[in-house]
Chains A and B, each alone.
Chain A
Amino acid sequence: MDLNFQHTNVLPARTWNRLGINDTALAEELPPAAPYTGPGPAGELPEGVAAFSGPLPAGEPETGMGHEEADFVAEHRNCGVSLKVAAGVHAKTPVFLTYRVDENSPFVVDENAVVAEEGSDVTVVVSYLGGARRGFHAGLTRLYAAKGASVRLIQVQLLGDGCLGMDNIGAAAGEGGTIHVIQAELGGRKALAGCKARLEGLRSRLSLDAIYFGDRSRSIDINYVAQHVGRKTRSDIRVSGALLDESEKTFRGTIDFVRGAKQAVGKESEFNLLFSPKVRNRTAPLILCAEEDVDGQHAASTGKIDENRLFYLMTRGLSELEAKKLIIKAQFRPVTDQIPDEKLRNAVAEYVEKRLNRL
């Protein structure tokens, strides 16, 4: 099967074509489509959380990667689950979903949804694991936080070096609703990720923490959009990562203040560490603003590890490699610490540790 995307991860406002950042085209030969045979939800669902198969709430939110990926998933889905959290329920334990992309099931197209009804909250942990030589995963996850509800999605992508992975998120929040996305894009030959959150309700908010890790010739392509529609909405996008070897990363991050989003606050920060003269790091941090009464800020910093920090750690007896590893792990900790499962947390730590030994 062939995959042919013309315009995915589209920058919400175009800029010079020669920079090649307006969107990403993707032409790939995929493994043959086949039913998914791997694991799915692990254990029992917490009380008040149920799988459902009916229609999603009206007003389907747009996604970060865009409609080409979403349409592809709708057409070829072979796994996934839709969850509903009943009004007022505070799920006591997280929901764990695992999708494995291996030789038995190299074609994984998962469509998921989390609908948190009024006043409820839930945490969903989704991990994409496996090392198929020519694996493929395309995911689409829709998140709905109704009035006063909170959805926390933790996505960890640890696919093997032969895989193409895509994680596409579309989210909407009602009055006082919170969408919290934690995304760790650590594996794969090519990794694409997108998240668009529409902050519709008064005081709704998006918190998006992401880490990425590039080594060998991995390419990472990300598009995040926080769309402020309602009054007093708030978004925080924090991205940090490291690039080694000949890896490449493209990050597009947009805060979009729609007219009427009075007293909205949008903040975005990006911190990139570079470890090889052959890496390529591209960033387009946009602020689009049609409302006067807002506060939008963006800060980005890209470079080598601060030599003073390195020197300090080395005077404390660490080797250069140990010091560098410590700094990168420390940079990832605010995100990895939020993974509520020790086994997965350790898997992430081990994965990063192993890869950093090649520094």
Chain B
Amino acid sequence: MEKKKTMVQDIDRTIYDIKDAVHPAYQVGQGLTPEIVNEISAAKNDPEWMRLFRLKSLRTYNRLPMPTWGPPLDGLNMDEIVTYIRPNTPMRGNWAQVPEDIKNTFVRLGIPEAERKSLAGVGAQYDSEVVYHNVREEVRRQGVIYTDMESALRDPVYGPMVKKHFMKLVPPEDHKFVALHGAVWSGGSFVYVPPHVHVKIPLQSYFRLNAPGAGQFEHTLIIVSEGSSVHFIEGCSAPKYNVANLHAGCVELYVGKNAHLRYSTIENWSKNMYNLNTKRALVEEGGTIEWVSGSFGSHVSYLYPMSILKGEHSRMEFTGITFAGKGQSLDTGAKVVHAAPHTYSSINTKSISKDGGNCVYRSSVEILPQAYGCKSAVNCESLMLDDRSRSDTIPVMDIRNDDVDVGHEAKIGRISDDAVFYLMSRGISEEDAKAMIVTGFAEPIAKELPVEYAVEMNNLIKLEMEGAIG
């Protein structure tokens, strides 16, 4: 008898795929030239140092080669990408003032509702510019700054802070697409948490790319001062088009002494998106960076948040889930550099590949000679749901002293027949047993996601049972 397959549904993209009519206030032409970069800089009223920085980054971009190790980027033609599209509205602090179509997009995504219920502040970016930014009064009174990058850049107090930190942690020389970011970046959020301030409810920035053939290059800069804590959530989505879109954002996180930053991302880009994002955290003595990352969308992703544990006893925890379906190559993972003694890192990831999707788990754990007494534990598990898909695990460990405790475990496979049999022997139907196993596989990660996203993720990988997986 032919074995029936359990269907694991694709992510329901209806709400993400609604397109708004494109009527920007202003946009540059396709491609990448010094003239276009100058045009963006002028349109954004950059300080002169930023204009020069952009032009230098463009030269770096032209000099650097394409990556030779990840999923193919053949479908990405930079000459066809529009790097700057300004929406038809200035930034507002009140949803009522945001143009109806843009507001409706964010309403469908549940952003204003989440803001009312469970967030301390919200930023919403539409194409190249932030259209809404607001922070609760009590958080503002604590001295927390949460605003768009452009406002911070021009602010007399925070402008110098931006200049001091901007692309210092992730220099444009790092790789081709971060050099591109340096040249054409626009939008993003700036967060400053003063010393010894605990922001009890999360801040959230949502990035929406609406225009076809466009790029989004937002820059997020977060400075968490000594003894402070904050949870920052980043969400992103776009409707699907037949042309390639590009996301090359950059996130720089400075975690101060004994500070704590949790950075959660739910990435749900459309399947024509090249998501080539760069994220990095620098963690001082006793500080903690926690990354929670869900990668569901995009055609191709290169995403490996990096943590540099600079201060003694600093910590990094990474929890990630990747779900690749038809037409997707999601190359995700994490990097950590232990640069100080007694630092700790833990990486926990799960990936699910189905319907021809490719998942790659890629990581590096580096322990430098001076970083004695360090501990690192990596655990990655991959689930294959059919034999048209792929799942590769490519971790590297580089250890340069002997006083370490480094462990690595990786597993790959299908749903275990024994586990199904066991559950069935306890009176659970085969279908329910399998649903339980897949949900259980993702559960350790799902429980780390913000509640509304955890529910969404469970819906995303909802099982439609019909016979057996396998």
**A-B contacts, 13 listed (Cβ < 8 Å):** A22-B69, A286-B395, A287-B382, A287-B392, A288-B390, A289-B393, A290-B389, A292-B384, A292-B470, A293-B470, A294-B384, A298-B409, A300-B408
Of B25-33, B39-47, B309-317, B410-418, the stretch lying at the interface with chain A is B410-418
Given contacts A286-B393, A289-B412, 11 further A-B contacts (CB under 8 A): A14-B68, A15-B394, A16-B362, A259-B387, A274-B404, A279-B400, A283-B408, A284-B397, A289-B391, A298-B409, A303-B406
Residues of B134-158 contacting chain A, CB below 8 A? none
Chain B residues lying within 8 Å of A285, measured Cβ to Cβ, are: 393, 395, 408, 410
* Residue A355, interface by CB 8 Å: no
Taken together as a complex, chains A and B put the C-alpha atoms of A292 and B407 apart, in Å, by: 26
Residues of A within 8 A of B369 (CB): 277-278
CA–CA, A145 to B400, complex, Å? 40
Cα–Cα distance between A302 and B372 once the two chains are bound (Å): 13
Which B residue's beta carbon lies closest to that of A284? B396
Residue A1, interface by CB 8 Å: no
What residues of B have a CB within 8 angstroms of the CB of A14 in the complex?
Answer: 68-69
Closest B residue to A295 using CB positions: B413
Do A15 and B402 form a contact, CB below 8 Å, given A291-B384, A300-B408?
A: no
State whether the Cβ of B80 lies closer than 8 Å to any Cβ in chain A. no
Q: Quick one: CB contact mask for A301-323 with B, threshold 8 Å, 1 for yes?
A: 11110000000000000000000
Nearest Cβ in chain A — how far from B256, in angstroms?
28
User: A301 to chain B: which residues have CB within 8 Å?
Assistant: 406-408
Measured CB to CB, the closest approach of chain B to A30, in angstroms, equals: 29
Decide if A299 is an interface residue (CB 8 Å cutoff).
yes
Specify which chain B residues have a CB less than 8 angstroms from the CB of A162 in the assembled complex.
none
Q: Which residues of A contact B224 (CB under 8 A)?
A: none
In the A-B complex, the 6 residue pairs with the smallest Cβ-Cβ separation, listed nearest first, are: A274-B402, A14-B69, A296-B412, A292-B384, A300-B408, A287-B393
Given A289-B382, A297-B411, A298-B408, residue A15 in contact with residue B372 (CB < 8 A): no
Q: Is the CB of A280 within 8 A of B398?
A: yes
Q: Is A17 positioned at the interface, with any CB of B under 8 Å from its CB? A: yes
CB distance from A49 to the nearest CB of B (A): 39
Query: Contacts A280-B398, A299-B408 hold; do A289 and B69 have CB atoms under 8 A apart?
Result: no
Contact status B402-A276, CB under 8 Å: yes
Asked if A21 is an interface residue, CB under 8 A from chain B, the answer is: yes
Residue A13 interfacial (CB < 8 Å): yes
Residue B385 at the chain A interface, CB threshold 8 Å: yes
Q: Which residue of B lies closest to A283 (CB)?
A: B397
- When distances are taken between beta carbons in the complex, the residues of chain A under 8 Å from B68 are 14, 17
Tell me the A residues contacting B by CB distance below 8 Å: 13-17, 19, 21-22, 243, 257, 259-260, 274-304
CB contacts under 8 Å to A, within B65-89, are 68-69
A19-B364, A259-B387, A282-B398 as given contacts; A287 in contact with B410, CB under 8 Å:
yes
B234 located at the interface, meaning its Cβ lies under 8 Å from any Cβ of chain A in the complex: no
Q: List, in ascending order, chain A residues with CB within 8 A of B364's CB.
A: 15-16, 19
CB within 8 Å for A303 and B405 given contacts A287-B412, A292-B414: yes
Interface size class of B (residues with CB under 8 A): 35 or more
Residues of B within 8 A of A16 (CB): 69, 362, 364, 396
**B421 CB to nearest A CB, Å:** 16
Given A287-B412, A301-B406: A281 and B387 interface contact (C-beta under 8 Å): no
- B434 to chain A: closest CB distance in Å? 14
Q: Contacts of B409 on A, CB cut-off 8 Å? A: 297-300
- Complex Cα spacing A13 to B392, Å: 9
- With a cutoff of 8 Å between Cβ atoms, the chain B residues found around residue A21 in the complex are 396, 398
Q: Which residues of B contact A293 (CB under 8 A)?
A: 387, 414, 470
Q: Is B109 located at the chain interface by the 8 A CB criterion?
A: no
Question: Are B389 and A279 within 8 A (Cβ)?
Answer: no
* A294 B414 Cβ-Cβ under 8 A: yes
A275 CB contacts on chain B under 8 angstroms: 402
Q: How near does chain A come to B243, taking the closest CB pair, in angstroms?
A: 29
Asked if B443 is at the interface of the complex by the 8 Å CB criterion, the answer is no
Decide yes or no whether B386 CB sits under 8 A from chain A. Answer: yes
Chain B residue contacts of A15, Cβ below 8 A:
69, 362, 364, 394, 396
Report which of A282, A297, A304 forms a contact with B396, defined as CB distance below 8 A: A282
Interface centre among B69, B389, B413 (most CB of A within 10 A): B413
Enumerate chain B residues within 8 angstroms of A298, measured Cβ to Cβ.
393, 408-411
Would you call B402 and A279 a contact (CB within 8 A)?
yes
Q: Please, what's the 1-or-0 string for B359-378, where 1 marks a CB less than 8 Å from any CB in chain A?
A: 00010100001001000000
Tell me, in angstroms, the Cα distance from A277 to B386 when the chains sit together: 46
Taking CB atoms, residues of chain A closer than 8 Å to B401 are 274, 277-279
A277's contact among B389, B402, B470, by CB below 8 Å, is which? B402
Given the complex, which residues of B lie within 8 Å of A22, measured CB to CB?
Answer: 69
Judge whether B399 is part of the interface by a CB distance below 8 angstroms.
yes
Q: List, in ascending order, chain A residues with CB within 8 A of B386's CB.
A: 292
CB-CB nearest in chain B for A288: B392
- CB-CB under 8 A from B410, the residues of chain A are 285, 287, 296-299
**Contacting residues, chain A, for B408 (C-beta < 8 A):** 283, 285, 298-301
Q: Which residue of B372, B387, B413 is within 8 Å of A290 (Cβ)?
A: B387
Task: Tell which of A257, A277, A278, A300 touches B397, judged by Cβ atoms closer than 8 Å.
Answer: A300
- A286-B392, A287-B392 known; A303 and B413 CB under 8 Å? no
| B403 on interface, CB distance cutoff 8 Å | yes
Task: Give Cα A259 to B392, complex, Å.
Answer: 13
Chain A residue nearest to B417 in the complex (CB) = A293
B414 in contact with A302 (CB, 8 Å): no
Given contacts A15-B362, A300-B407, contact A284 B387 (CB under 8 A): no
Q: Which residue of B lies closest to A18 (CB)?
A: B364
Taken together as a complex, chains A and B put the C-alpha atoms of A287 and B353 apart, in Å, by 14
Residues in A with CB closer than 8 Å to B382 are: 287, 289
Complex CA distance for A245 and B405, rounded to whole angstroms: 19
Are A289's CB and B390's CB within 8 A?
yes
Residue of A274, A288, A289, A298 contacting most chain B CB atoms (<10 Å):
A289
Q: Closest Cβ of chain A: how far from B449's Cβ, in Å?
A: 26
In the complex, the chain A residue whose C-beta lies closest to that of B361 is: A287
Q: Would A277 and B403 be within 8 Å (CB), given that A19-B364, A289-B412 are in contact?
A: yes
Expressed in whole angstroms, the minimum distance between the Cβ of B170 and any Cβ of chain A is 14
Could you tell me the distance in whole angstroms from the C-beta of B351 to the nearest C-beta in chain A?
11
Measured in the bound complex, the distance between the Cα atoms of B69 and A93 in whole Å is: 47
What is the CB-to-nearest-CB distance from A65 to chain B, in angstroms, rounded to a whole number? 19
- CB-CB under 8 A from A281, the residues of chain B are 397-400
Cβ-defined contact, A294 with B397, below 8 A: no
Q: Contacts A292-B385, A296-B411, A298-B409 known; A13 to B394 CB distance under 8 Å?
A: yes
Contact residue among B372, B387, B396, B397 (Cβ-Cβ distance under 8 Å from A292): B387
Complex contacts, B403 vs chain A, CB 8 Å: 277, 304
Which B residues touch A299, using CB under 8 A? 407-410
B395–A280 contact, CB under 8 A?
no
Whether A19 pairs with B404 at a CB distance below 8 angstroms is no
Docked complex Cα distance between A114 and B434 (Å): 47
Given contacts A19-B398, A293-B387, A297-B410, contact A303 B404 (CB under 8 A): yes
Q: Which residues of B contact A302 (CB under 8 A)?
A: 397, 399, 404-407
Kindly state the separation between the CA atoms of A289 and B382 in the bound complex, as whole angstroms: 10
Contacts A16-B69, A275-B402, A290-B390: A282 and B411 contacting too (C-beta < 8 A)?
A: no
A298 nearest CB across to chain B (Å): 4
